[in-house]
Amino acid sequence: MTIEIPKEKWAGKVREVKIGATQADGGTRSRVVTLGGEAALPHLGFEGALPNPPVLAIEVRDRKPDDWSPLLVQAWGEAMQDPGDWARAAEAAGAEMIYLALSLTDSDGQKNTPAKARAAVRKVLDATGLPLTVVGPGQAEIDNELMVPVAEEAKGERILLGICEEKNYRTLVAAALANDHLVQSKTPMDVNLSKQLVILIHDMGLPLERIVIDPTTGALGYGIEYGYSVMERLRLAALQGDSMTQQPMIVTPGEEAWRVKEARVGEGVPQAWGDWERRSLNWEAVTASSLLYAGANILVLRHPETLKRLRGVVDGLKDPA
């Protein structure tokens, strides 16, 4: 019996976005990552072109975080003491991109400073040739104070700057415009809010080819279904031709998964949760892989083992040709 494969005809596709600049483009990166370009639903290659597979990034911090799971501390070891070493270890583990998150304070509890932020970015840029994302600590005033010098420090490297939120995006967008970078926008699990922020950023003069969106996802067991469906809806809208939804999506399953109790706590939890280490790794990997099916273009992970497993999934989803 012959069956006709039901293919959807899509009017639109996801915008192609390039992060990083090699020497030829005035930077020092050894490679560029290209996101987006999909003319089909996630990983359905029989339906349309999928030119750029999802990118796996590792989150590193400008200093060793105080509150990360001991399992993560064990995995990265001494490398966590220095952002350059950490980034190098991440590259060695197979990361295609580094996601550098700046801390609110230094290890003595003193407020982070522009000079320290610059130094951390410089270390990472010098340590690896991978394209880079840098995000602030997440408090508007300090973000703006730190991220403008960061944008200057990385001028020419075409890095992704984050995080633009509805209440605080102007300074970051201006810094991206002035230094030829890209920005990451973030909105709370809502298709319209996501579109609206892309419009606001674009209205400031930043080309759409320089915006990556984070629709916010939640972790497995903690609301992932909301983020998952918003991502599916964004991707469907993009393929149907809604221009302001056609941005590639960055998601942070590493951060989401490792802050929940199932991953963080090893003792005093129900026996039915199983072995702590395997459970934690599964929590991050299942959160991350679910988001792949919803259309994620960049997965920001924390554990090297998760990176390895997701590499297997991303490669396994590729067109065999």
Answer whether 238's CB lies under 8 Å from 14's CB. yes
- Does 111 engage in binding with other proteins (CB under 8 A)? no
Answer whether 83's CB lies under 8 Å from 60's CB. yes
Q: 140 or 208: whose CB is closer to other proteins? A: 140
Neighbours of 65 (CB within 10 A): 16
Residue 285 tokens read as 């990997």
Q: 50 or 124: whose CB is closer to other proteins? A: 50
Compute the distance between CA of residue 276 and CA of residue 30 in angstroms, rounded to an integer: 38
Interaction pattern, residues 53-92, with other proteins; x per rule: CB under 8 A = ----------------------------------------
- Does 10 engage in binding with other proteins (CB under 8 A)? no
Q: 24 or 272: whose CB is closer to other proteins? A: 272
Compute the distance between CA of residue 308 and CA of residue 4 in angstroms, rounded to an integer: 37
Q: Which of residues 117-146 bind other proteins (CB under 8 A)?
A: none
Q: How far is the CB of 206 from other proteins (least distance, A)?
A: 23
Compute the distance between CA of residue 158 and CA of residue 161 in angstroms, rounded to an integer: 9
Residue 226 tokens read as 């909301």
- Does 221 engage in binding with other proteins (CB under 8 A)? yes
Residue 20 tokens read as 């990083």
Compute the distance between CA of residue 89 and CA of residue 95 in angstroms, rounded to an integer: 9
Interaction pattern, residues 272-311, with other proteins; x per rule: CB under 8 A = xxxxxxxx--xx-xx--xx--x---------------x--
Compute the distance between CA of residue 194 and CA of residue 247 in angstroms, rounded to an integer: 10
What are the residues binding other proteins (CB under 8 A)? 1-6, 43-46, 166, 188-190, 193, 216, 218, 220-226, 228-229, 232-233, 236, 259-262, 264-265, 268, 270-279, 282-283, 285-286, 289-290, 293, 309, 312-313, 316-320
